[in-house]
Amino acid sequence: MHHIEVDVLDDYISTFIVSLQKSNCTEYEPTSIRGILGSLDRKLKRHRFSYSIMAGSGPQFSLTRQTYNAKKKSLKKQVIHNAINVQTKNCGYPHSNFQDFFQ
């Protein structure tokens, strides 16, 4: 197995989280991102890596945890903002033109 410093791996993973998108250019759900990080954690644990990405509270992987939490917060705000815009724009109806509903 290759050796990589924790700080370097932390930078790589946090950059990965920021740039992570689906193939259709939409964002992953926070739970999906957390699942990916959990998979990475398990892989590192199998190779006897000394630190946990998400379970740790020390300085190791702190950038990754901060980046994940910031992205999760941003995605939740985006979902709330989009829901408010749809309700305001369409007055709560799923169709922007009421007549389109009957066609």
User: Cα–Cα distance between 93 and 6 in angstroms, integer?
Assistant: 50
Determine the average pLDDT of the residues in 12-27.
92
Locate tokens 């959990």: which residue?
38
User: Cα–Cα distance between 79 and 41 in angstroms, integer?
Assistant: 28
pLDDT digits (tens, 9 = 90+) for 27-71: 899 999 999 999 999 999 998 888 899 887 788 999 999 999 999
The answer to whether residue 83 scores a pLDDT higher than 80 is: no
pTM of this structure: 0.71
